[in-house]
Amino acid sequence: MDLTTETTPRPTSSEQPLKLAVIVGSNREGRFAPIVADWFTSRARQRADFTVDVVDLARTVLPAALSHTPSPEARAALAEVSPRLAAADAFVVLTPEYNHSYPAPLKNLVDWHYTEWQAKPVAFVSYGGVSGGLRAVEHLRQVFAELHAVTVRDTVSFHNAGGLFTDDGGLKDPAGPDGAAKRMLDQLGWWGRALRTARAAHPYAG
C-alpha cells in the first residue's frame, strides 16, 4: 500500500484556485478588446489563486431574441457558454464604452442567464476615450446588483487606450495598470473565496 496517498491531506475548498471567467464584451469589427484582454489575462494567469477561462463574445454568438423556451439553435449556443458561467467562482468583465454604456452583445449574454451570476463576485476592466469606459462600468454595476452578484470596488480602466499600448500589445508604462490589476484581483479573490465557502455551506436562495 502506498501510505503517501493515504496521509497527504487534500486541499480544502478555500485553498483550491478560483475558477475565473474573463468575459470579453466587445465583438465589434476592428475592436481593441483583444489587446486589453491579452494583457489582463497574462496578469491573472500568473497568480496561483485563479484558473482563467476566457469567454469572448466575438466567438460566442447568442440569439438576440430572449426566450424562456429557447429554440434548438439557441439551446446549442447556450450549451457552449452557460456551463462555463455556472462553473465560475468569479468573473471579470472586460468592456469598452459605446454611446455612454456597454455593448449590446454583453447585455445579451447577461440577460440569457440568471442563477449563473448569483452570489458571485464581478470585477471590471474597461477601456475607451477620456472616460476610460467607466460609464459603462457604472451601468453594469446596477445590472449585476439586480442579478444578486457582488461587484468589487476597484477597477482597471484605460483612458485613451489606443495611446497606452505599443504595436506589439505591451503597455508603454505598465506600473500603474499592473498595480491596479493586482489590487482588483486581490479583492476579487477575497470575495470569491468567501462566497464560494458560503454557497457550499448555505446554497443561495435568490
Model confidence pLDDT, tens digit, residues 182-198: 999 999 999 999 999 99
**Which pLDDT score is estimated for 47?**
97
Average pLDDT over residues 6-11: 48
CB-facing half-sphere around the CA of 100: CA atoms within 13 A: 0
**Which pLDDT score is estimated for 61?**
87
Question: Which sequence spans correspond to the domains of the chain?
Answer: 17-199
pLDDT(113) > 80: yes
12 pLDDT band, cuts 50/70/90, is low
**Which pLDDT score is estimated for 31?**
95
**Which pLDDT score is estimated for 4?**
47
The CA distance from 92 to 53, in Å, is 10
**Which pLDDT score is estimated for 3?**
47
To the question of pTM greater than 0.85 for the whole model, the response is: yes
Could you say which architecture CATH assigns to the domain 17-199? 3-Layer(aba) Sandwich (3.40)
The 3-class secondary structure across 101-141, one letter per residue, is: ECCHHHHHHHHCCCHHHCCCEEEEEEEECCCCCHHHHHHHH
Average pLDDT over residues 105-131: 97
15 pLDDT band, cuts 50/70/90, is confident
**Which pLDDT score is estimated for 58?**
95
Residue 63: partners with Cβ closer than 8 Å, 6 or more residues away: 70, 71, 73, 74, 77
110 pLDDT band, cuts 50/70/90, is very high
DSSP character for 93?
E
Average pLDDT over residues 73-101: 96
pLDDT(206) > 80: no
**Which pLDDT score is estimated for 14?**
61
